Amino acid sequence: MTNDGIIIINKQQNMTSHDVVAQVRRIFGIRRTGHTGTLDPMATGVLPVCVGRATRIMEYLDLDLKEYRCSMKLGRRMDTQDVWGQETARVPPERVNLIRREDVEEAFAVFHGVISQTPPMYSAVRVNGKKLYEYARAGETAEVKARKIYIDRLTIEAMDLGRGYESTVTFSVRCSKGTYIRAICEEAGERLGVYGAMSALTREASGIFRIEDAVELTELAAMDKEHRERLLMNIPDPLVHFGELEVREYDAKRLLNGLPVWTGHCTFRREPEYRDKDFPLPIRPEFRRAYKAFGPVEGKMTFLGVVFADEAYENVKADKIFYTRG
Protein backbone atom coordinates (compact mmCIF):
# COMPACT_ATOMS: atom_id res chain seq x y z
CA MET A 1 0.00 0.00 0.00
CA THR A 2 1.06 3.63 -0.38
CA ASN A 3 0.59 6.96 1.33
CA ASP A 4 0.29 8.85 -1.96
CA GLY A 5 -3.19 10.01 -2.94
CA ILE A 6 -6.09 12.28 -2.07
CA ILE A 7 -8.36 11.88 0.94
CA ILE A 8 -11.72 13.70 0.91
CA ILE A 9 -12.34 15.21 4.34
CA ASN A 10 -15.79 16.31 5.49
CA LYS A 11 -14.66 19.39 7.40
CA GLN A 12 -16.60 20.40 10.49
CA GLN A 13 -17.17 23.90 11.88
CA ASN A 14 -14.65 25.76 14.06
CA MET A 15 -11.66 24.37 12.17
CA THR A 16 -9.38 26.10 9.71
CA SER A 17 -8.33 24.26 6.58
CA HIS A 18 -4.79 24.39 7.99
CA ASP A 19 -6.02 22.59 11.12
CA VAL A 20 -7.44 19.81 8.94
CA VAL A 21 -4.18 19.40 7.02
CA ALA A 22 -2.21 19.23 10.27
CA GLN A 23 -4.45 16.44 11.57
CA VAL A 24 -4.27 14.48 8.31
CA ARG A 25 -0.48 14.85 8.45
CA ARG A 26 -0.42 13.35 11.94
CA ILE A 27 -2.88 10.54 11.11
CA PHE A 28 -0.98 9.40 8.01
CA GLY A 29 2.42 10.14 9.51
CA ILE A 30 3.62 11.91 6.38
CA ARG A 31 4.83 15.49 6.18
CA ARG A 32 3.88 16.26 2.58
CA THR A 33 0.20 17.17 2.79
CA GLY A 34 -1.88 20.06 1.51
CA HIS A 35 -5.48 20.99 0.75
CA THR A 36 -6.79 21.91 -2.69
CA GLY A 37 -8.76 25.02 -1.68
CA THR A 38 -9.48 26.85 1.57
CA LEU A 39 -12.78 26.52 3.41
CA ASP A 40 -13.68 29.20 5.96
CA PRO A 41 -13.44 28.05 9.60
CA MET A 42 -17.23 28.06 10.04
CA ALA A 43 -17.89 26.34 6.71
CA THR A 44 -18.34 22.58 6.44
CA GLY A 45 -18.06 19.95 3.76
CA VAL A 46 -15.65 18.79 1.09
CA LEU A 47 -11.98 19.55 1.71
CA PRO A 48 -9.71 17.35 -0.44
CA VAL A 49 -6.32 16.84 1.18
CA CYS A 50 -3.42 15.65 -0.95
CA VAL A 51 -0.96 13.29 0.67
CA GLY A 52 2.61 12.55 -0.42
CA ARG A 53 3.31 12.91 -4.14
CA ALA A 54 -0.33 13.92 -4.72
CA THR A 55 0.48 17.40 -3.37
CA ARG A 56 2.04 18.10 -6.77
CA ILE A 57 -1.30 17.95 -8.63
CA MET A 58 -2.90 20.92 -6.88
CA GLU A 59 -2.06 23.45 -9.60
CA TYR A 60 -3.75 21.18 -12.16
CA LEU A 61 -7.17 21.51 -10.48
CA ASP A 62 -7.83 25.14 -11.44
CA LEU A 63 -10.51 24.10 -13.95
CA ASP A 64 -12.60 22.27 -11.35
CA LEU A 65 -15.95 23.82 -10.47
CA LYS A 66 -17.13 23.83 -6.86
CA GLU A 67 -20.65 23.32 -5.53
CA TYR A 68 -21.99 24.92 -2.36
CA ARG A 69 -25.20 25.11 -0.35
CA CYS A 70 -25.51 28.39 1.53
CA SER A 71 -27.94 30.13 3.85
CA MET A 72 -27.98 33.87 4.56
CA LYS A 73 -29.78 36.07 7.06
CA LEU A 74 -31.33 39.37 6.02
CA GLY A 75 -31.26 42.73 7.77
CA ARG A 76 -27.68 43.20 8.99
CA ARG A 77 -24.29 43.97 7.44
CA MET A 78 -21.23 42.33 9.00
CA ASP A 79 -17.55 43.19 8.62
CA THR A 80 -16.74 39.56 7.71
CA GLN A 81 -19.80 39.17 5.44
CA ASP A 82 -21.01 36.34 7.69
CA VAL A 83 -22.96 36.22 10.95
CA TRP A 84 -19.83 35.45 12.99
CA GLY A 85 -18.32 38.90 12.47
CA GLN A 86 -19.05 42.33 13.92
CA GLU A 87 -22.19 44.17 12.89
CA THR A 88 -21.54 47.38 10.98
CA ALA A 89 -25.09 48.35 9.93
CA ARG A 90 -28.70 47.19 10.08
CA VAL A 91 -32.15 48.11 8.87
CA PRO A 92 -35.31 47.90 11.03
CA PRO A 93 -36.89 44.43 11.09
CA GLU A 94 -40.08 45.95 9.68
CA ARG A 95 -38.11 46.87 6.54
CA VAL A 96 -36.80 43.30 6.26
CA ASN A 97 -40.36 41.97 6.47
CA LEU A 98 -41.29 43.88 3.32
CA ILE A 99 -39.06 41.64 1.20
CA ARG A 100 -41.04 39.40 -1.15
CA ARG A 101 -40.09 36.23 -2.96
CA GLU A 102 -39.93 38.02 -6.30
CA ASP A 103 -37.55 40.59 -4.77
CA VAL A 104 -35.16 37.81 -3.77
CA GLU A 105 -35.37 36.17 -7.19
CA GLU A 106 -34.59 39.49 -8.89
CA ALA A 107 -31.67 40.20 -6.54
CA PHE A 108 -30.04 36.85 -7.31
CA ALA A 109 -30.68 36.93 -11.07
CA VAL A 110 -27.41 38.79 -11.73
CA PHE A 111 -25.27 35.96 -10.36
CA HIS A 112 -24.82 34.02 -13.57
CA GLY A 113 -21.99 33.56 -16.04
CA VAL A 114 -18.77 35.55 -15.88
CA ILE A 115 -19.02 38.41 -13.40
CA SER A 116 -16.66 40.63 -11.40
CA GLN A 117 -16.24 40.07 -7.68
CA THR A 118 -14.08 41.87 -5.13
CA PRO A 119 -12.52 39.47 -2.58
CA PRO A 120 -13.56 40.17 1.04
CA MET A 121 -11.15 41.93 3.39
CA TYR A 122 -11.43 38.89 5.64
CA SER A 123 -9.85 36.48 3.16
CA ALA A 124 -6.47 34.90 2.45
CA VAL A 125 -5.96 36.83 -0.80
CA ARG A 126 -2.55 38.48 -0.77
CA VAL A 127 -1.92 42.15 -1.51
CA ASN A 128 1.71 43.28 -1.49
CA GLY A 129 2.71 39.99 0.10
CA LYS A 130 0.28 40.32 3.00
CA LYS A 131 -3.03 38.49 3.46
CA LEU A 132 -6.13 40.67 3.42
CA TYR A 133 -7.36 39.36 6.78
CA GLU A 134 -4.08 40.56 8.31
CA TYR A 135 -4.86 44.09 7.11
CA ALA A 136 -8.44 43.80 8.42
CA ARG A 137 -7.40 42.56 11.87
CA ALA A 138 -4.90 45.40 12.16
CA GLY A 139 -7.55 47.95 11.25
CA GLU A 140 -5.70 48.76 8.03
CA THR A 141 -7.02 49.08 4.50
CA ALA A 142 -5.67 47.75 1.23
CA GLU A 143 -6.53 48.28 -2.41
CA VAL A 144 -8.39 45.16 -3.48
CA LYS A 145 -8.96 44.70 -7.19
CA ALA A 146 -12.08 43.00 -8.49
CA ARG A 147 -11.50 39.83 -10.47
CA LYS A 148 -13.51 37.69 -12.83
CA ILE A 149 -15.32 34.62 -11.54
CA TYR A 150 -17.69 32.20 -13.22
CA ILE A 151 -21.07 31.09 -11.87
CA ASP A 152 -22.34 28.09 -13.80
CA ARG A 153 -25.65 28.01 -11.94
CA LEU A 154 -27.31 29.44 -8.84
CA THR A 155 -30.62 28.07 -7.58
CA ILE A 156 -32.69 29.46 -4.73
CA GLU A 157 -33.64 26.43 -2.66
CA ALA A 158 -35.77 27.99 0.09
CA MET A 159 -37.00 31.33 1.45
CA ASP A 160 -38.17 31.90 5.01
CA LEU A 161 -39.26 35.55 4.87
CA GLY A 162 -41.18 37.90 7.13
CA ARG A 163 -39.26 36.94 10.29
CA GLY A 164 -37.20 40.08 10.83
CA TYR A 165 -33.53 39.34 11.37
CA GLU A 166 -34.27 35.60 11.21
CA SER A 167 -35.45 35.93 7.61
CA THR A 168 -33.40 33.43 5.64
CA VAL A 169 -32.61 32.64 2.01
CA THR A 170 -30.99 29.32 1.11
CA PHE A 171 -29.39 28.73 -2.27
CA SER A 172 -27.06 26.34 -4.07
CA VAL A 173 -24.35 27.50 -6.43
CA ARG A 174 -21.85 25.90 -8.84
CA CYS A 175 -18.93 28.19 -9.51
CA SER A 176 -15.26 28.59 -10.37
CA LYS A 177 -12.29 28.56 -8.05
CA GLY A 178 -11.85 31.85 -6.20
CA THR A 179 -15.56 32.61 -5.82
CA TYR A 180 -16.48 33.98 -2.39
CA ILE A 181 -19.97 32.89 -1.41
CA ARG A 182 -19.94 35.40 1.47
CA ALA A 183 -19.54 38.17 -1.07
CA ILE A 184 -22.57 36.89 -3.00
CA CYS A 185 -24.62 37.07 0.21
CA GLU A 186 -23.54 40.62 0.94
CA GLU A 187 -24.16 41.83 -2.61
CA ALA A 188 -27.60 40.15 -2.70
CA GLY A 189 -28.46 41.89 0.58
CA GLU A 190 -27.35 45.22 -0.84
CA ARG A 191 -29.47 44.67 -3.94
CA LEU A 192 -32.45 43.94 -1.67
CA GLY A 193 -31.76 47.14 0.24
CA VAL A 194 -31.72 45.36 3.61
CA TYR A 195 -28.15 43.99 3.89
CA GLY A 196 -27.37 40.30 4.26
CA ALA A 197 -24.79 37.97 5.75
CA MET A 198 -23.94 34.32 5.27
CA SER A 199 -25.19 32.11 8.11
CA ALA A 200 -24.25 28.60 6.90
CA LEU A 201 -22.07 27.17 4.13
CA THR A 202 -21.42 23.61 3.02
CA ARG A 203 -19.19 22.69 0.11
CA GLU A 204 -20.90 19.71 -1.47
CA ALA A 205 -18.43 19.09 -4.29
CA SER A 206 -15.11 20.24 -5.71
CA GLY A 207 -14.41 18.76 -9.11
CA ILE A 208 -14.92 15.00 -8.79
CA PHE A 209 -14.63 15.15 -4.98
CA ARG A 210 -18.13 14.80 -3.49
CA ILE A 211 -19.44 14.99 0.05
CA GLU A 212 -20.96 11.49 -0.07
CA ASP A 213 -17.40 10.15 -0.44
CA ALA A 214 -15.96 12.29 2.35
CA VAL A 215 -14.88 11.14 5.81
CA GLU A 216 -14.75 13.08 9.06
CA LEU A 217 -11.42 13.42 10.83
CA THR A 218 -12.63 11.51 13.88
CA GLU A 219 -13.61 8.59 11.65
CA LEU A 220 -10.28 8.70 9.82
CA ALA A 221 -8.31 8.73 13.06
CA ALA A 222 -10.17 5.64 14.32
CA MET A 223 -9.39 3.56 11.20
CA ASP A 224 -6.51 1.15 10.87
CA LYS A 225 -3.72 1.94 8.39
CA GLU A 226 -5.00 -0.32 5.62
CA HIS A 227 -8.53 1.10 5.79
CA ARG A 228 -7.19 4.68 5.60
CA GLU A 229 -5.01 3.89 2.61
CA ARG A 230 -7.93 2.29 0.76
CA LEU A 231 -9.73 5.64 0.97
CA LEU A 232 -6.92 7.45 -0.85
CA MET A 233 -7.94 8.41 -4.37
CA ASN A 234 -5.35 7.64 -7.04
CA ILE A 235 -3.26 10.61 -8.13
CA PRO A 236 -4.43 10.82 -11.78
CA ASP A 237 -8.15 10.34 -11.05
CA PRO A 238 -9.03 14.03 -10.36
CA LEU A 239 -7.36 15.24 -13.56
CA VAL A 240 -10.55 14.81 -15.57
CA HIS A 241 -10.02 17.89 -17.75
CA PHE A 242 -6.76 16.56 -19.17
CA GLY A 243 -6.45 14.09 -22.00
CA GLU A 244 -4.94 10.65 -21.70
CA LEU A 245 -2.26 8.87 -23.70
CA GLU A 246 -0.14 5.75 -23.61
CA VAL A 247 3.45 5.20 -24.70
CA ARG A 248 5.60 2.13 -25.22
CA GLU A 249 8.30 1.07 -22.77
CA TYR A 250 11.14 2.80 -24.63
CA ASP A 251 9.26 6.09 -24.74
CA ALA A 252 8.15 5.72 -21.12
CA LYS A 253 11.84 5.73 -20.20
CA ARG A 254 12.37 8.86 -22.30
CA LEU A 255 9.55 10.68 -20.51
CA LEU A 256 10.87 9.59 -17.12
CA ASN A 257 14.27 10.99 -18.08
CA GLY A 258 12.84 14.35 -19.15
CA LEU A 259 13.16 13.75 -22.89
CA PRO A 260 10.52 14.56 -25.51
CA VAL A 261 8.52 11.83 -27.23
CA TRP A 262 7.23 12.10 -30.78
CA THR A 263 3.43 12.20 -30.87
CA GLY A 264 3.48 9.56 -33.58
CA HIS A 265 4.67 7.13 -30.91
CA CYS A 266 1.77 7.98 -28.60
CA THR A 267 -1.62 6.32 -28.45
CA PHE A 268 -4.10 9.08 -27.63
CA ARG A 269 -6.97 7.64 -25.59
CA ARG A 270 -8.74 10.92 -24.88
CA GLU A 271 -8.28 14.58 -25.79
CA PRO A 272 -8.11 17.44 -23.27
CA GLU A 273 -11.58 18.81 -22.53
CA TYR A 274 -10.60 22.35 -23.51
CA ARG A 275 -8.39 21.61 -26.49
CA ASP A 276 -10.97 22.95 -28.94
CA LYS A 277 -13.42 24.79 -26.71
CA ASP A 278 -13.16 27.68 -24.31
CA PHE A 279 -13.33 27.68 -20.55
CA PRO A 280 -15.36 30.68 -19.34
CA LEU A 281 -12.24 32.21 -17.72
CA PRO A 282 -8.65 32.51 -18.97
CA ILE A 283 -6.69 29.28 -18.46
CA ARG A 284 -3.07 28.28 -18.69
CA PRO A 285 -2.49 27.59 -22.42
CA GLU A 286 -0.69 24.31 -21.72
CA PHE A 287 -3.84 22.88 -20.15
CA ARG A 288 -5.35 22.72 -23.63
CA ARG A 289 -2.53 20.30 -24.55
CA ALA A 290 -2.20 18.45 -21.24
CA TYR A 291 -2.34 14.65 -20.94
CA LYS A 292 -2.09 12.03 -18.26
CA ALA A 293 0.64 9.74 -19.56
CA PHE A 294 0.69 6.00 -18.94
CA GLY A 295 3.27 3.45 -19.98
CA PRO A 296 4.74 0.07 -19.07
CA VAL A 297 7.27 0.04 -16.26
CA GLU A 298 8.71 -3.36 -15.37
CA GLY A 299 5.87 -4.95 -17.30
CA LYS A 300 3.06 -3.07 -15.57
CA MET A 301 1.00 -0.22 -17.07
CA THR A 302 1.80 2.74 -14.83
CA PHE A 303 0.83 6.39 -14.45
CA LEU A 304 4.00 8.22 -15.39
CA GLY A 305 2.98 11.83 -15.00
CA VAL A 306 1.48 14.85 -16.74
CA VAL A 307 2.83 15.75 -20.16
CA PHE A 308 2.24 18.74 -22.40
CA ALA A 309 2.20 18.58 -26.19
CA ASP A 310 4.03 21.39 -27.95
CA GLU A 311 1.99 23.88 -29.96
CA ALA A 312 2.70 22.06 -33.23
CA TYR A 313 1.71 18.72 -31.65
CA GLU A 314 5.01 17.19 -32.79
CA ASN A 315 6.22 16.06 -29.37
CA VAL A 316 5.05 15.60 -25.80
CA LYS A 317 7.26 16.25 -22.81
CA ALA A 318 6.75 15.72 -19.10
CA ASP A 319 5.68 18.68 -17.03
CA LYS A 320 5.72 16.61 -13.83
CA ILE A 321 6.73 13.00 -13.26
CA PHE A 322 4.83 11.13 -10.54
CA TYR A 323 6.28 7.66 -10.95
CA THR A 324 8.97 6.68 -8.46
CA ARG A 325 10.66 3.33 -8.15
CA GLY A 326 9.58 1.22 -5.22
Nearest to 75 by CA among 184, 183, 163: 163
Which of the residues are catalytic? 40
Contacts (Cβ under 8 Å, ≥6 apart) of 289? 272, 275, 308, 309, 310, 311, 313
| Residue 319 and residue 307 in contact, taking contact as beta carbons nearer than 8 Å | yes
DSSP 8-state class, residue 88: E
| Residue 236 and residue 303 in contact, taking contact as beta carbons nearer than 8 Å | yes
Ramachandran region of residue 15, left (φ > 0), alpha (ψ -120 to 50) or beta?
Answer: beta
Q: Where are the beta strands (DSSP E) in the chain?
A: 5-11, 33-35, 44-51, 66-74, 76-78, 87-90, 113-117, 126-127, 130-131, 147-160, 168-175, 196-206, 209-210, 243-246, 261-262, 267-270, 290-297, 300-309, 315-321
